[in-house]
Structure formats: C-alpha cells, structure tokens
Copies of this chain bind each other. A is one copy, B any other.
Amino acid sequence: MQAKTKETIAAIEEKLTAKGERFTDARQSVMAALLEFDATTAKAYDIVEAMGNVKPMTVYRALDFLVAQGLAHRIESLNAYAPCVENHCAHKDSQYLICDKCEKVEELHSHAIDDFIAEQTAKDGFKISTKVIEIHGLCSSCQL
C-alpha cells in the first residue's frame, strides 16, 4: 500500500468522524483499494479481487457508502468507480473526462455546462434530478 494512500485514509477518517459517520474497516479497505488504482477506474469485482477474501456484497455496500459521502464516483458508462478526494463545491454536478486508454478520470465542474443544460431543459418543462455526463476520449498524455 502506497504511503500516500495511508495519509489520505487518515485524512478521510478525520473528516468522517467529524461528520458523525463511521469509517469502518470494510469501508477503509475498499477506499484504500480504490485509491491504489491511482485515479484510474476500478470495477467492483476488481476491488473484490484486489482485496481477496471479501464478498462482492461487502464491496458494493462500501462503494455505496463512499459514493454517498462523495468519496467516490460511479461511472455509469463503465460500471466502474473512481475515487474522489478533493472536496469541491456541490459535488453533485460534475462532468467526467474519461481516458479510454489509461483509464484515468478527470472531473470538470463547469457551472456553465450545468446552467446551459438547465436552460435548455427548462424549455421542455423538464425537471432535472440527476445528470450523467461522461465524456470519453484520450487524455493529453495518451495522444502522443
């Protein structure tokens, strides 16, 4: 386990306990596993495998928790997850840039895109609850 992972876990622990949430062993382990993939996406069963001796159910439950806490994102178009350590503003409205080669995920937080979509959908009288915005392609490093 990378040193950085340990640090991050410790920092998260602090934040969660402050919030009154329980950062249990299972949750820590899954978060750690996710972080070890180093900003690339990981499938639930990748984590199951990486952890060894754990049941899928355990991993899915932990992932649900992490997503709810904004510590991970689910990437719908890949059935995968990415860790998220930075705590940005709302966190509900992000857009993901997913490199299909190196699998790294970057987040955009364009209020402009949000506003734009809100404006366009308002015309239809559509009431937005959640948005899935996942942009696939090649990151700058992988274009070489």
Do B112 and A113 touch (CB < 8 A)? no
Do A127 and B143 touch (CB < 8 A)? yes
| Chain B residues closer than 8 Å to A124, beta-carbon distance | 97, 106, 139-140
Known: A129-B138, A136-B130. A113 touches B106 (CB 8 A): no
State the Cβ distance, A116 to closest chain B Cβ, in Å: 6
State the Cβ distance, A81 to closest chain B Cβ, in Å: 14
Q: Which residues in chain A, 78-136, are within 8 Å of chain B measured between CB atoms?
A: 95, 97, 99-100, 106, 108, 110, 112-113, 116-117, 120-121, 124-136
Q: Which residue of B lies closest to A108 (CB)?
A: B120
Flag whether A56 is at the interface (Cβ < 8 A): no
List the number of copies, as a whole number: 2
Do A125 and B143 touch (CB < 8 A)? yes
> Number of contacting residues on A, CB 8 A?
33
**What are 25 residue pairs bridging A and B, where the CB atoms are less than 8 Å apart in the complex?**
A76-B77, A77-B77, A77-B132, A95-B117, A97-B121, A97-B124, A97-B126, A99-B126, A100-B129, A108-B121, A110-B116, A112-B120, A113-B113, A124-B139, A124-B140, A126-B137, A126-B140, A127-B137, A128-B136, A130-B135, A130-B137, A131-B133, A131-B134, A131-B135, A132-B132
Besides A110-B116, A113-B120, A126-B139, 7 other A-B contacts (C-beta < 8 A): A76-B134, A97-B121, A108-B120, A108-B121, A112-B116, A125-B143, A132-B136
